Every structure is written in structure tokens, then in C-alpha cells.
A and B are shown apart, each in its own frame.
Chain A
Amino acid sequence: MLDALQKLGRVTLGFFQRLGRGHLFLLQIFTTIPGVLIRPRLILTQLYTVGVLTLLIILVSGLFVGLVLGLQGYNTLVDFGAEDSLGVMVALSLVRELGPVVAALLFAGRAGSALTAEIGLMKATEQLSGMEMMAVDPVQRVVTPRFLASFISLPLLAAIFSAIGIYGGYLVGVGLLGVDDGAFWGQMQDKVDLQGDVYNGIIKSIVFGFVAGWIALFEGYDAVPTAAGVSRATTRTVVHTSLAVLGLDFVLTALMFGD
């Protein structure tokens, strides 16, 4: 009994210590942003590895999600004779929800895990310590450029995901099932609100980019510097980012569209 209580105490303490370290880490990232901004090349290289290399999986997944939305949406809408609204349905699902959320989940699997493993291995092989001893701040040099790259690329990737998804819905709806071309785009233009829908979707993906980058980099930086430690950290990145994204999505949706 006492053992269990002790264990509970230790786990709880450990959790809050980690939470504290995580926030200090974020603060460190913030303080080094100005130093990174004057060296945009650092960010550009990371935009390539974090963003561009994730593009393919985003394109393919976006297309398939759009195709499925087109099929499912048509089957439901046609019963009510409302198949002309397919464009609206596809666009709203993507822009409000699926674009930001699915892009963030894919991002965690493709880019987040890679970031954690990279930073964790750099820690395990003393590269980060080595930088410290060369009077180079590893947070500024290694972590912050990757954080900014995540923060910038996820909203763009989510937008691309939505765009290609809408095109997928169009292919199935208009190309295959014979929905009227003009109605598909016209109703979409009419009913999708720039402020209420598009901006809110962008805000979501900005928040997700922030959280995904923070979690992935912190897990790597805080990893136990061994092979097993880095592997655990990589798994945690994917799991925690996914949970955080889904949880935050609910909170943000409630705030934005709740009333």
C-alpha cells in the first residue's frame, strides 16, 4: 500500500518536473528566436527537411481523403437530392477539420518522429555537449530553426492537404458521379466563409504546428541519451502529438464553432 503510494508520488512528481522542463525549454526557444531570424539560411534548410520532404505523403493522403469524401458525401446527399452541395460538404470538412488535423497527424509521424530521433541521437553522441563546449548554443543552432520550420510548414501543408482533397472530391463528384460542375464550385464559393471557416482552419493548423514542433523537439532534447531512450522518445512524440492534436482540436472547435 505504502509502496503504491510512494510510486504514485514519484510518478506525479516526475510528470510535473517534465512539464516544468518542457516549459523552460519553450522559453529557451523563444529567447533564441531573434538570433535565428538574422540567419535565415538555418531555417531554410530545415524548411526543406521538415516541410518539403513531408509534402509527398501530404499530397497522396490528401487526394485519397478527398476521393473518399466525394464518394461518401455523394451517397448521403443524393438521398436528399442535395448532391449539388457536395462541393460545400467536401470543402467544409477539409478546411475546418480534416486538413489541419490529418496533416498534423501525418506530420507527427513523418517529420516529428524524425526530429526527435535526430536531436536525441545528437544528444547521445555528445554532439550537443560538443556545441556547448564550442560556445555554440545548441538550442539556438539546432532546436529553434527546426521549431520555426515546423511552425511555418504545418499550416502550409494543411492548406495543400485541403486543396488537393477538394480536387479529389471534385474528381469523384463531378468527374465520376455526374454532379454539376458549376454547382460544385458555385455553392462552395457561396457557403464557405473566409473568416469563419478558412481563417479558423488556419489558426488550428498554426496551433498544431506549434505543439507538434514543441513536443518533437522537447522529447529529443530531453531523451535519455541511449539507444533505448531515443527509441522511447520517438514513440512518445508520435503518441503525445496525436493525442494533443485531437484534444486541442476539440477545444478549438468548441471555441470557434460552439455557439
Chain B
Amino acid sequence: MTEPVVQIRDLHFARGERMIFDGIDLDIEPDGVTAIMGPSGTGKTTLLKLIGGQLRPQSGSIRVYGEEVTGLSRHGLFELRKKMGMLFQSGALLTDINVFENVAYPIREHTRLPDALIRDLVLMKLQAVGLRGASAMMPSELSGGMARRVALARAIALDPMMVMYDEPFTGQDPISKGILVKLIRELNDALGLTSIVVSHDVLETAAIADYVYLLSQGKVIEHGKPEALLASDSEWARQFLDGKADGPVAFHYPAADFRDDLLRGGRA
């Protein structure tokens, strides 16, 4: 069997008092699309930041391409990140330069290529996401879906081996959702990438994923092939997949007893 691209073992991470990950094991196999799903606030974004080394866990191991992220120096991290592209939830485009320059940015920062070549590279990446015509536009002039595609072109600008997508479909209309779904799968196969897609859009994600992890309350609740998960009859998976308000994941955020709270009167 091939070595997983990302291997997470017994990961613990807390923000202040609040435990976000309470012992997670997770493998991302090469060349596929792995989906990580879970309700908002479970820590999906946090997980991507841990994999990228932007956050450090309290304990546990995160190996990416065989390197222990938690032990890397800043320089080592930067070298590793050149192999990863990340698509932020907001797109995170640089707002003071246009689309072309945004995509050219990582190339200019990390290589000494001549301008003519950079131009060709950038146009190729923009062509791949269908936005070559928008290269002179400023980020503020783009629709949400276009901004994400530009961010995607930027994420693949340096030909990374792995791309992480943070909720690429959230807030998109059905058409741009469809475009993004198709793009993620096609780019993954055409460029031989390893993709990690974080999402809570069950159907879209299941349609392109080779493997799915379901997270909730700091744990991996289920994992497996999408067909198997969709057919799963575990209570938790059903609540998430069918969108029920109450179930193993409580509707209420943890709180003091309601009656006590009311009886305390004006004292907050």
C-alpha cells in the first residue's frame, strides 16, 4: 500500500478551555479527493490550518509527505507549503492587485522566471478555471464564485502536489456550485493532485469524493467510501446527512440549567 500523504494520529487541540479535537486519527491517500464533513464549528478549518502548520496541536502527530509538521522549523514549514495549495473560505485574494497579479504572486515570490514565461503560466492557470477573460479585473469586481476560481488558479500556480479546499461550495448559486464541483474533480485528475475538500454540502461533496470523514464534537464519527456512508444507518450519520435539528448533536450549545439561569434574575 502507498504511504498516505497526510497521516494524523491521536490529535488533540484546544482553544482556551474548549476542546476542538479530542483524539483524531485520519489518513489522506494520494491521488484522490478526500472529503472532510461536519457541522459548522466542529473545527474543519482548524484541521486544515493544523495540516498547513499554521496552528500547533497540544499533542498528537501530523505527518505530511512523511514530515512531522508539528516539529518543523519555520523554514521547513515554508518549504513544505510550497507543495500545498490552499483555497480559503473567503478566497483571501490580495485586494490591491488584479486577478492576473494575484495568480502571478506565488510564482513571482518563489521563482525567478522571466516575465513572458510568467505571463504564459498565469494565463494557463486562468484558462483552466475559465477566467482568462477576467485577468484585468480587480478582486472587488468579482462575484463570489469567480473569486473562488481565481483563488483556485492561484492555489495551483506553483503546481502543488496537494490542494486543500475550505468550504468551496458555501454561499454559491447552483451554477457556480456545479462549476466548482466539476473543476475540483477535473483538476485533481488532470494534474495528479491529492485533494482535501472540507464541506458540509453532503450531496455535492459525496459526488466527487473518493473517501469521506465525518467529524463531530472533536471526534471522527464515521469514515468510508461515500456510497457506504450515505447508506449508513448510524444515528449520527443520519442526523447530519438528512439534516435533522436534534439527535446525537444537540440543538442547544452547552449551557447552564435553563431554570437556574432564569432564576438568577438580572445578574448575568
Give the interface of A toward B (CB within 8 A).
122, 125-127, 129-130, 132-137, 141
Residue B81 at the chain A interface, CB threshold 8 Å: yes
With A130-B88, A132-B54, A133-B54 known to touch, is A125 a contact of B95 (CB < 8 Å)? yes
* Number of A-B residue pairs at CB separation under 8 A: 49
B55-93 interface code vs A (CB 8 A; 1 in, 0 out): 000000000000000000000011101101110111011
| Number of B residues, CB within 8 Å of A | 23
B116-136 interface code vs A (CB 8 A; 1 in, 0 out): 000000000000000000000
Instruction: Give Cα A207–Cα B119 distance, bound, in whole angstroms.
Output: 43
Residue B109 at the chain A interface, CB threshold 8 Å: yes
CB distance from B156 to the nearest CB of A (A): 12
Inter-chain contact B81/A127, CB cutoff 8 Å: no
B180-198 residues at the A interface, CB under 8 angstroms: none
Interface of B is mostly: mixed
Residue B38 at the chain A interface, CB threshold 8 Å: no
Q: Which of B81, B88, B89, B92 has the most CB of A within 10 A?
A: B92
Within 8 Å CB of B93, what residues of A? 127, 130
Inter-chain contact A136/B92, CB cutoff 8 Å: no
Chain A residue nearest to B74 (CB atoms) is A137
From B52, B79, B89, B90, A133 is in contact (CB under 8 Å) with: B52
Within 8 Å CB of B54, what residues of A? 129, 132-133
Inter-chain contact A125/B110, CB cutoff 8 Å: no
Q: Which of A122, A127, A141 has the most CB of B within 10 A?
A: A127
Residue B105 at the chain A interface, CB threshold 8 Å: yes
CB distance from B161 to the nearest CB of A (A): 14
B31-54 residues at the A interface, CB under 8 angstroms: 49, 52, 54
B148-186 interface code vs A (CB 8 A; 1 in, 0 out): 000000100000000000000000000000000000000
From A127, A130, A134, B109 is in contact (CB under 8 Å) with: A134
Residue B144 at the chain A interface, CB threshold 8 Å: no
Inter-chain contact B81/A133, CB cutoff 8 Å: yes
Instruction: Give Cα A126–Cα B148 distance, bound, in whole angstroms.
Output: 13
Inter-chain contact B79/A127, CB cutoff 8 Å: no
Inter-chain contact A136/B109, CB cutoff 8 Å: yes
With A126-B88, A130-B88 known to touch, is A136 a contact of B95 (CB < 8 Å)? no
Inter-chain contact B86/A127, CB cutoff 8 Å: no
Inter-chain contact A127/B92, CB cutoff 8 Å: yes
New A-B contacts (6) at CB < 8 Å, excluding given A127-B92, A130-B88, A130-B92: A125-B90, A129-B54, A130-B93, A133-B52, A134-B105, A135-B109
